[in-house]
């Protein structure tokens, strides 16, 4: 699986062959087929393992602490994964044509957003906000962090992951800190609609 992850990360799904993975791993093609069925099975197993690693890291980071600490720790955990597991992150961010492994990064966002949403829901309720809107904010923040991770992996390495994570956490936290109870209420500033004609 380590060899397969490396080859899929560098070449993508379509350009990767079982022959190459087997050769680099020092085993025969039948061994790979016996364990994973086909290239799709190997890819799906790798994606599932990477998802579990990333979700476990982020989930552990939001298990305790103040709301701000949880949020900042979650961003730091995500960025640490991007830095420490570049091949895994590359596999997750590539589109997959397979049924079993489809939606790589989208699955990450969905899983993380669900867990973050559970934390937000209880914190919103405690602070007097409607808890039913928690998934909106959880998905927005997780999507933001994921996109920044993708940017950092591609072109942002002049910045340390810790520095990037603190900037992202500050942006997210300031937005949450000044969150109106009802964004559509009178007195909440909105941009004027452009005039027609």
- The pLDDT value recorded for residue 54 is 85
DSSP annotation of 132 reads G
Q: Which CATH class is domain 1-178?
A: mainly alpha
Q: Higher confidence at residue 127 or residue 49?
A: 49
Residue 116 has pLDDT above 60, yes or no: yes
Q: Cα separation of 82 and 175, whole Å? A: 24
Q: What is the mean pLDDT of residues 14-43?
A: 91
Q: What is the DSSP string of 21-86?
A: HHHHHTS-HHHHHHHHSSHHHHHHHHHHHHHHHHHHHHHHHTSSS-HHHHHHHHHHHHHHHHHH-H
Cα end-to-end span (Å), the chain = 61
Residue 136 has pLDDT above 70, yes or no: yes
* pLDDT tens-digit series, residues 50-84: 888 888 888 888 778 887 788 788 889 989 999 99
Residue 26 has pLDDT above 90, yes or no: yes
* pLDDT tens-digit series, residues 147-159: 899 899 989 999 9
Both tokens of 127, joined, read 């602070």
Q: Cα separation of 123 and 117, whole Å? A: 10
Going by C-beta distance under 8 Å and a sequence separation of 6 or more, which residues neighbour residue 195? none
């Amino acid at each position: 699986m380590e060899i397969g992850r490396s080859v899929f990360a560098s070449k993508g799904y379509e350009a990767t062959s079982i022959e190459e993975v087997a050769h680099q791993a020092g085993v025969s093609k039948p061994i790979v087929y016996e364990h994973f069925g086909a290239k799709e099975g190997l890819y799906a197993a790798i994606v599932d393992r990477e998802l579990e690693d990333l979700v476990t890291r982020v989930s552990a980071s939001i298990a305790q602490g103040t709301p701000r600490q949880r949020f900042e720790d979650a961003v730091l955990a995500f960025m640490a994964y991007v830095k420490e597991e570049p091949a895994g992150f590359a596999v997750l961010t590539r589109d997959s044509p397979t049924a079993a492994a489809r939606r790589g990064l989208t699955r990450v966002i969905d899983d993380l957003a669900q867990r973050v949403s559970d934390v937000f829901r209880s914190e919103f309720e405690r602070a007097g906000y409607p808890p039913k809107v928690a998934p909106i904010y959880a998905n927005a923040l997780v999507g933001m962090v994921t996109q920044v991770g993708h940017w950092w992996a591609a072109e942002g390495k002049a910045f340390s992951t810790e520095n990037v994570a603190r900037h992202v956490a500050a942006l997210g936290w300031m937005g949450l800190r000044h969150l109106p109870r009802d964004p559509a209420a009178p007195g909440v500033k909105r941009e004027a609609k452009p005039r027609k004609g």
